[in-house]
Amino acid sequence: MSTQKPEELPSEEELAQMSRDELVKLGSKLDGVELVEYPDPWPVKGTRAEKRAERMVAFWFALSGLAGLAFVVAFIWWPAKYVAPDEDGHLMYSLYTPVIGLTLGVAILAVGIGVLNYTRKFVPHEIAVQERHDGGSNELDKATILANLADAGNRSTISRRPMIKRSLAFGGGVLGLALTALPLGSLLRNPHAQSDNKDGLIHTPWQHTKEGEKVFLRRATGTDEVSLVRPEDMDAGAMDTVFPYREGDTAHDWTKMLLRGDSPVMLIRLRPADAARVIKHEGQEDFNYGDFYAYTKICSHVGCPTSLYEQRTNRILCPCHQSQFDALQYAKPVFGPATRKLAQLPIAVDEETGYFISTGDFIEPIGPAYWERKS
């Protein structure tokens, strides 16, 4: 707030006529600011030290730009798909995370160091004393502070340092591009590129890839032991997490499958009294096996694992945002932000072995919505 008496203030016309230097002085005076020291960082222009400082700042901005560029390239083209340790390409795959972390880290760090260096070497380090005041600023104060800022920019000599300006534009621009690539990068890939096989977006590893194939429900025990599930293994009211397993699957096949986000399924055995109250979804009347129901574990809100099953209420809970799904009504949402039911996996018991199998893939997309999702 100005401390000047109204009669001492310049009129609007006088204000418009004033030069930037005059406005700076006026602003300081009005704000009761006393500039104790306001030294030019480079009083003698064009010295070797000044040029060295300029090159140093430009170096950091340029490094930031190069690292940002490397990040964008690696984020889009570096092979990120899982490759087992004894397969070709494992080294490149295992370097994916370090490479994108390192390049983005260097890009951010370098631009920060560049700004710090510029501030230390080229912005005047004035010492000013100013009295504090309450309330907002009037138009006159705003005009003078803008002049002050422009003056500070001018005195920092940025306008006559094209090397720093260009390297800053390069570094800042590429860094901005890198930050944009994070959310947009995945959109550059065609989500339907593999839609004809089990790796495609609309299929899960539960898909039967050949006639008569048996896809068993297997528990993840953390060991190589193959633990399949039979109806008599589960008590009424129990829940188990299962994954697809085919005879002959190797440890690598199992690892690859576990890495997929769309394979975990909740196998629930309802209590007989509850099972008698079940309402089935149209077209999915034969998806259950007796009291056993299998639902994807991927929440239809934003894809967290819906890992909690409350036996007393028959509700499936997602811990992320507290969505609840009714296991007695085809896992339709009854509370929270989720609006779609959990996809149901069709299951049966293999007559030959007595173990649970899936009779096919999910018939609806699992997890959160995407453009073409109809259900």
The strand pairing partners of 113, in sequence order, are: none
Number of residues near ligand FES (by CB under 6 A): 12
| Minimum distance, C-beta of residue 286 to ligand FES, in the bound complex (Å) | 28
| Minimum distance, C-beta of residue 295 to ligand FES, in the bound complex (Å) | 13
**Which residue among 70, 181, 338, 357 contacts ligand FES (CB under 6 A)?**
338
| Minimum distance, C-beta of residue 298 to ligand FES, in the bound complex (Å) | 9
57 vs 299, beta carbon nearer ligand FES? 299
| Binding status of residue 304 toward ligand FES by CB under 6 A | yes
C-alpha span between 74 and 335 (Å, rounded): 41
Are the CB atoms for 267 and 242 separated by under 8 Å? yes
Q: What number of other Cβ atoms are within 10 A of residue 218's Cβ?
A: 21
275 vs 338, beta carbon nearer ligand FES? 338
Buried b (16+ CB within 10 A) or exposed e, 42-68: beeeeeeebeebbeebbbbbbbbbbbb
**Which residue among 30, 265, 318, 342 contacts ligand FES (CB under 6 A)?**
318
168 vs 318, beta carbon nearer ligand FES? 318
| Binding status of residue 337 toward ligand FES by CB under 6 A | yes
Per CB under 6 A, the segment of 176-184, 188-196, 201-209, 299-307 that binds ligand FES is: 299-307
The strand pairing partners of 129, in sequence order, are: 34
30 vs 299, beta carbon nearer ligand FES? 299
| Binding status of residue 336 toward ligand FES by CB under 6 A | yes
With a CB cutoff of 8 Å and minimum separation 6, the contacts of 161 are 54, 122
**Which residue among 56, 152, 320, 348 contacts ligand FES (CB under 6 A)?**
320
User: Rounded to 5 degrees, what angle do the CA atoms 92, 203, 298 make?
Assistant: 85
172 vs 336, beta carbon nearer ligand FES? 336
User: Rounded to 5 degrees, what angle do the CA atoms 37, 43, 46 make?
Assistant: 150
What is the three-class DSSP state of 214?
coil
DSSP state of 289: B
- Can you say whether the dihedral through the CA atoms of 253, 259, 262, 264 is positive or negative? positive
**Radius of gyration over every alpha carbon of the chain, rounded to an integer in angstroms:** 33
**Which residue among 269, 297, 301, 340 contacts ligand FES (CB under 6 A)?**
301
239 vs 299, beta carbon nearer ligand FES? 299
What is the three-class DSSP state of 61?
helix
| Minimum distance, C-beta of residue 326 to ligand FES, in the bound complex (Å) | 15
Are the CB atoms for 153 and 58 separated by under 8 Å? no
Query: Helix and strand tally (H, E) in the chain?
Result: 8, 13
| Binding status of residue 268 toward ligand FES by CB under 6 A | no
| Binding status of residue 323 toward ligand FES by CB under 6 A | yes
C-alpha distances out from residue 100 to 77, 138, 179, Å: 11, 48, 12
**Which residue among 238, 302, 334, 348 contacts ligand FES (CB under 6 A)?**
302
| Minimum distance, C-beta of residue 361 to ligand FES, in the bound complex (Å) | 22
200 vs 305, beta carbon nearer ligand FES? 305
Binding positions for ligand FES, rule: CB under 6 A: 299, 301-304, 318, 320-321, 323, 336-338
